[in-house]
Amino acid sequence: MSSKPTDRRSRIAAEQAAEARRERRNRLLVRGGIAAAALALVGGITALVVTTNDHGSGGGAAATATATATAIPSQPRTTAEGRTTPPPWPAPEGSGAATAVAAAGLPMLSAEGTALHIHAHLDVFADGKAVTVPALVGIDEQSQQISPLHTHDTTGVIHIESPVQADFTLGQFMTEWQVSMSADHLGGLKTDADHTLTAYVNGKAVTGDPAAIKLGAHDEIALVYGTAAENAKVAVPGSFAFPSGL
């Protein structure tokens, strides 16, 4: 008889211990669930931050592209400013290139544009002799930036590679080259009773300010300055044999 209370007490103690173990297990499960939820929340927040940052970067790139597009004027300049000295006229170098491009009303790009990709060719003759159109007009090699209007070499090929569709003029190019030009002068070469300046597009003389000439695909543009005798020595080209792919 005396053993029954002892057995009952032992059974109650065992049940209490089992309940305590269940409670501890439940607490661990709850804590684990909270931790998992917290990790998921942190992961979600991180993903949200990354996504937001990605959108931010995309927005920045879009904003940059938009800024670049708006930096290219819908109405290009039709005058040319720069040096008023006789040739030769080397291309502006370093930061001078960027300054000249800005004077032309154009932006410097980190890469050549692809929305508009055409080429024109420029010949310049002064006093019966060819004047070299220099390489790297509109290019700043130091900062690795380039204008949508530029030259790569001394062939006279003008590259028009823009991120947007737009018109470009000879005046913009001459300003990038930093050679002043209008109907009455080319750099330091001025017209007078004996000297004339004539612009040709595809072999045909054009009137007015040559700076207003629009650059078209595969146009051959020639500027001829000199006396009648000197100009008679110039064979004004009507076209240019562009290399394959240009």
Please report the DSSP string for 4-65 in residue order.
Answer: HHHHHHHHHHHHHHHHHHHHHHHHHHHHHHHHHHHHHHHHHHHHHHHHHHHHHHHHHHHHHH
pLDDT at residue 68, rounded to an integer: 58
pLDDT at residue 145, rounded to an integer: 97
**Separation of alpha carbons 215 and 81, rounded Å:** 17
Binned at pLDDT 50, 70 and 90, residue 98 comes out as: very high
pLDDT at residue 74, rounded to an integer: 87
**Is-cis flag, bond preceding 88, omega within 30?**
yes
Q: Letter for the amino acid at 63? A: A
In the predicted model, what is the mean pLDDT of the chain? Answer: 82
How many H-runs (helices) and E-runs (strands) does the chain carry? 4, 12
SS3 of residue 79 by DSSP = coil
**Separation of alpha carbons 62 and 193, rounded Å:** 55
Structure tokens at 167: 């018109």
**Separation of alpha carbons 177 and 92, rounded Å:** 7
Average pLDDT of the segment spanning 79-84: 98
pTM more than 0.85: no
pLDDT above 50 (res 53) = no
Q: Is 173 exposed, middle or buried (0-12, 13-18, 19+ CB in 10 A)?
A: buried
Structure tokens at 134: 């220099």
Whether the CB-CB separation of 191 and 218 falls below 8 Å is answered with no
pLDDT above 60 (res 188) = yes
**Residue labelled with tokens 């004027």:** 73
* Phi, psi of 66, deg, nearest 5: -65, -40
Could you tell me how far CA 58 lies from the centroid of its own chain? 17
C-alpha distances in Å from residue 10, one per residue of 2, 3, 16, 148: 13, 11, 10, 93
pLDDT above 60 (res 2) = no
* Pairing status of strand 220-226 against strand 116-126: parallel
DSSP state of 173: H
Whether the CB-CB separation of 245 and 210 falls below 8 Å is answered with no
pLDDT at residue 17, rounded to an integer: 53
pLDDT at residue 71, rounded to an integer: 84
Beta-sheet strands, E only, within the chain: 116-126, 129-131, 139-140, 145-146, 149-150, 157-162, 181-182, 185-186, 189-190, 196-201, 204-206, 220-226
Structure tokens at 169: 């003029």
